[in-house]
A = this chain, B = another copy of it.
Amino acid sequence: MSKDVRVTIWNEFRHEKTNEAVKKIYPQGMQAVIGRALEKAGGFRVRTATLDEPEHGLTEKVLDETDVLTWWGHLAHGEVKDEIVERVHKRVLEGMGLLVLHSGHFAKIFRKLLGTNCSLKWREAAEKERLWNLEPGHPITEGIGDFIELANAEMYGERFDIPTPDKLIFVSWFEGGEVFRSGCCWERGHGRIFYFRPGHETYPIYHHPEIQRVLANACRWAAPRIRKPDCCPHVPTPLEKIPTKTIDLQHVKP
């Protein structure tokens, strides 16, 4: 029951190496900050994986030992190999949880799972964001009040091109005048998916205690309830007796 949830934190990990402002906020990468937050929250076994590792750090073995995968990417979505995307996609449909973070809205894996463009409106003005909590009874908002306020955020605005979420958890208000569906749940196959908007690399969003709380909650929520390989079974023997048939051709017109 209360086994640790095994989380693999995937990060593109490029901005942190090249941009001084980002490096200052995330000297060891965002994955390190998110990882420490989960460890502090307790109940998780955390590992990280990044784009530039072999197989992007997502070998079959790593995925065998992953209950929930979190995904942050931005600059280099196109460098993620299709073969790895297929591999992760298969795992989610089998039951693995997936958290897609911020600019991960354009990640191949997110678009493949949702089937839409996942496009949106955007602006970088360090503006204020207030994420309103629409579902105070949902496990993802446990311990969160009426809203979360971020002093500085990149703006993402509607229309967000996604399938209607199964459950809409957060809606953001932006200082500059826009709104956004910032916390969205879906189920695909046997897996659970949570998209969580905040997280721009030049603002210290993943250091924020309430954002960390949501991430921990979401990793618990997305943990697999089942693991089940896909199949398309041929069942030649029916459960009920079917008499021998002749094909009815009454509607066939010459």
CA distance A122 to B237 in the complex (A): 10
Question: Which of B116, B125, B189 is in CB contact (< 8 Å) with A189?
Answer: B116
Q: Are B236 and A132 in contact (CB under 8 A)?
A: no
Determine the chain B residues whose CB is within 8 A of the CB of A166 once the complex forms: 164, 166
Q: Is A238 on the interface with B (CB-CB < 8 A)?
A: yes
CA distance A195 to B56 in the complex (A): 36
Q: Which of A163, A179, A186, A245 has the most CB of B within 10 A?
A: A179
Number of residues in A with C-beta < 8 Å to the partner? 88
| Minimal Cβ-Cβ distance residue in B for A204 | B252
Determine the chain B residues whose CB is within 8 A of the CB of A80 once the complex forms: none
Q: Are A240 and B177 in contact (CB under 8 A)?
A: yes
| Minimal Cβ-Cβ distance residue in B for A182 | B179
CA distance A138 to B233 in the complex (A): 21
Interface residues of A in 41-60 (CB under 8 A from B): none
A212 to chain B: closest CB distance in Å? 9
Q: What 0/1 readout, one digit per residue, does chain A (202-214) give for beta carbons within 8 Å of chain B?
A: 1110011100000
Instruction: Give the oligomeric copy count.
Output: 4
Q: Are B228 and A137 in contact (CB under 8 A)?
A: yes
Q: Are B127 and A245 in contact (CB under 8 A)?
A: yes
Question: Which of B1, B115, B167, B240 is in CB contact (< 8 Å) with A113?
Answer: B115
Q: Are A178 and B173 in contact (CB under 8 A)?
A: yes
Q: Is A78 on the interface with B (CB-CB < 8 A)?
A: no
Determine the chain B residues whose CB is within 8 A of the CB of A173 once the complex forms: 173-174, 177-179
Determine the chain B residues whose CB is within 8 A of the CB of A234 once the complex forms: 122-123
Q: Are A158 and B137 in contact (CB under 8 A)?
A: no
Determine the chain B residues whose CB is within 8 A of the CB of A253 once the complex forms: 207
CA distance A240 to B155 in the complex (A): 13
Q: Are A226 and B136 in contact (CB under 8 A)?
A: yes
CA distance A53 to B163 in the complex (A): 33
Q: List 8 A-B contacts (CB under 8 A).
A: A132-B159, A136-B159, A136-B226, A139-B225, A151-B245, A171-B171, A172-B179, A175-B238
